[in-house]
Amino acid sequence: MNAVRVALLDHRVRDVLVPGWIDRDDDVPVFRPQPLVVWLRLDDGLLRFETPQYDDRLRCAMMPAVTWDDIDVLAASEDEVIIASYGEQLFGDGRDGLRCTEIRKHRVDKALALDFEGGHTLFLDPSWPFGFRIGDRAQEQRWVQDYGNGQVETTTCPAS
């Protein structure tokens, strides 16, 4: 997770992006999220989070662009695959970018919480069967209550 810290020290987070497809089988088209990967859109580039199938350990890497060619269920989909923004739901609107203030790794890369200026938290739980469970500070607290065992590694991100 050192890559997370390095990326977030130098960049502000502008958005949280999640892939999915448009389900047009009903009268009203519906977005069906498939959070097998999650991207943080930075002021320069993207930080991609993923968890390999049958492995609930979090992986991340810097990426120049959004791509899902390596995710079989999305690459082979006959439906219209799109990317949705979760930023407004998690951080509110009217922001240009948020600086990360603290990173919490739970149980050796089993879950990740990122705190941002303004009191916002992004929580990623990669052990959900359908990809990532994406939430806020309340979701993190529920996860800690249900699954946490006290193994938390906290890193402060100094303001630059």
Q: From first to last of its 160 residues, what are the pLDDT tens digits of the chain?
A: 577 888 888 899 999 999 998 888 889 999 989 898 999 999 999 999 987 766 667 888 899 999 888 877 777 777 788 899 998 888 887 677 899 999 999 876 688 999 998 899 999 998 888 889 999 999 999 998 888 777 888 888 866 5
- Cα dihedral 47, 132, 108, 156, rounded to 10, equals 50
- CA atoms of 81 and 155, how far apart (whole Å): 35
Which pLDDT does position 6 carry in this prediction?
A: 82
Neighbour tally for 76: CB within 10 Å: 7
From the number of C-beta atoms within 10 Å of its C-beta (0-12, 13-18, 19+), residue 81 rates as middle
* pTM attached to this predicted model: 0.88
Going from the C-alpha of 13 to that of each of 45, 71, 90, the distances in angstroms are 10, 24, 12
Which pLDDT does position 37 carry in this prediction?
A: 92
**DSSP code at position 65:** S
